[in-house]
Amino acid sequence: MEDCIFCKIIAGDIPSNKVYEDDDVYAFDDIEPQAPVHSLVVPKRHVETLNDLDDVSLWNALLRGIKEVARLKGMVDSGYRVAINCGEHGGQVVKHLHVHVLGGKRLDDKMG
C-alpha cells in the first residue's frame, strides 16, 4: 500500500534489520527498541489492524514468524513478550498490523 512505512520496509524501499522472512511474513528489529530484543513481525500483505485480520492461515503465519524470531534471538528458554497494539486506545501508531516481540531481559509487569 502506498504511503505505508511497513509496506515500504517489506519492499526494501526503506532499509531494515531483517530477522526472518518467508512467503507470508517479514520480521525486523524495531528502530526504537524498548528491550534488548525488540522485533516486529508483520504480514507481507497490507492488513491495517488486528480487527481486519480474518484469515486463519495468516494468523498461523504470524505465529510462525514470532516463534522464528524467538528462536533466532535465543529467547525460547528465557522467554519473551508478544504484544499487538490495535487502534487509538491500543496505541497503534503504524497502520499496518504488527506483532511486537520483546525480550532479552526480565520485563517489568507494566501493561499500560
In the complex, the residues that contact Zn ion under the rule CB under 5 A are 1, 4, 6-7, 46, 96
Identify the DSSP state of 51.
G
Q: Which three cell numbers stand for residue 35?
A: 528491550
> CA of 15: how far to CAs of 5, 21, 56, 88, in Å?
11, 14, 29, 27
Q: What are phi and psi of 9, to 5 degrees?
A: -65, -45
Give the nearer residue to ligand 5GP in terms of CB position, either 24 or 30: 30
Give the nearer residue to ligand 5GP in terms of CB position, either 13 or 77: 13
96 binds, among Zn ion, ligand 5GP, none (CB under 5 to 8 A by kind): Zn ion
1 binds, among ligand 5GP, Zn ion, none (CB under 5 to 8 A by kind): Zn ion
Q: Which three cell numbers stand for residue 43?
A: 504480514
**98 given a catalytic annotation:** yes
Q: Which three cell numbers stand for residue 17?
A: 534489520
16 binds, among ligand 5GP, Zn ion, none (CB under 5 to 8 A by kind): ligand 5GP
Tell me the catalytic residues.
Answer: 98
